[in-house]
Chain A
Amino acid sequence: MIRAFLKRVFLVDLFEGLRVTFRNQKPKYIYTEQYPAQRPKVAERYRGAPRLNLNPETGEPLCIGCNLCALACPESLIVMTSIRDEKTKRKTMNTFLFDTSRCMFCGLCEEACPSDALELTQDFELATYTREGQIWDRKMMEEGPKPTRYKC
């Protein structure tokens, strides 16, 4: 009884909490990111900006124009056309439109791609000044976004 009373008077419970606060004065885990100066390293499997991969040896697009990514997309935001190459008798991708403003980066298009052409990369800076800039065409898909690098 007296013990409890003294604990109340001397604010023991509040000091117990303060002890935790002071124990954390030199924190071991710090997650603050100095963002524009230091870019965070995202995980290897990060699902970011989409990219159409090119064959590293020939520079030709890996895409075979099968349209599977467009069918897999829940938002139907991929629109592509393909033409038949008269010489090789194979289908090749002609135009490719990817609306990143509606994309939720679920990765289903990447999983549907049979030739590893479409890939969600580790680029995460997708902001643009216009709404139309969010719709990426084939050239943009192959080159990837070019975010501004600031000197800090």
Chain B
Amino acid sequence: MAEKIATRQAYGDALAEFGVDESIVVFDADLSKSTKTATFEKKYPERFFNMGIAEANMMCAAAGMSTCGKTVFASTFAIFAAGRACEQVRNSICYPNLNVKIGATHAGISVGEDGASHQMLEDIANMRALPNMVVISPADAVETRLAVKASIEHKGPVYLRLGRLNVPVIFDETYKFEIGKGVELKSGSDVTIIATGLLVHEAITAFDILAEKGISARIVNMPTIKPIDEDIIVKAAKETGAIVTAEEHNILGGLGSAVCEVVAEKCPVPVLRIGTKDKFGKSGKPALLMKEYELTDEDIVKKAEEVLKLK
């Protein structure tokens, strides 16, 4: 079994690593031990600001700070970053196109026991609709580190969608990450599985199950939801003729929607979506919730078989 690291942990570690750059400032809203920005705080206390349980103020203060030449990471749970402070992100960060990076941890249903109030399943939809915003949903610790690095190099707002749960490390040091680029992880010709975040690992294990059933699946990791990699989607549509999307997010407005928009306009083929079905989550062990909400490799296999019948 591969090593397991939460993407939030990799985020905190990356901030501490790249924080050697003195223009980097980190804000948190009383969750630094959970978002792991405390790792940065320990190393660079003078450039860490705890803004208290006041996310609206934090987002706008981050915006103001960024106008003074800083690269500001503002961290809290996804529900507060993309939910509570959504309008602050829109008007004070995205409209003036400011250099603020939102490190949103505890995204998705894998938050587990805290339940529906804390399981953010609409953040990709909210954030992707904002002009100037880049939305990145890393699949593992390696990709998270590279996404943090790329976010620092990118001038403008970035939303980093991170998880609470320890997840398998998928990639090694040779892995290349570029904003706006999907990555083909497994080649295949019958169907393409396009996954993001936590569901990338499920897609990889689904590949083996599908192979045993004689189905050749292409697996695409889509870390950047916006700007979406249109080329890799169109190529998949043309070459495999059917697509399944997989994300730990509402099927409305997330990766599945982004893929459907491209497929419908550029190369119409059947697409089926894995995601939460426009309903709230609930408390429970993350693995049991993933099963109940049909977000596992077996669910991906079922959808792949289903979409093949639509070809």
Do A and B pair up? The answer is no
